[in-house]
Amino acid sequence: MSEKELNAYRFSPEEEPSDEMLEQIMKEVAEEAKAGNKRATEEHFAKLRQDIANKQLKWRDKINSVIHE
């Protein structure tokens, strides 16, 4: 099945997708979901690393202020 045919298909009660169409649609949906999940996970851990770095700086400053009083 060509990409053009697949992109032209629209779900409707009158016409059900062929098994080949459905398989391709599901494959693409799974790939998009996987990519989105990977991106969200990477963003989440980047945010965690940034939060950790900020807290380390905050604690370093507090400790240094106590040491140098």
Residue 25 has pLDDT above 70, yes or no: yes
Which of the four pLDDT bands, split at 50, 70 and 90, describes residue 67?
Answer: very high
pLDDT of 27 above 70: yes
32 CB neighbour count, 10 Å cutoff: 10
Looking at residue 1, its pLDDT comes to 66
Q: Look up the pTM and report it.
A: 0.66
Can you say whether the dihedral through the CA atoms of 19, 21, 26, 31 is positive or negative? positive
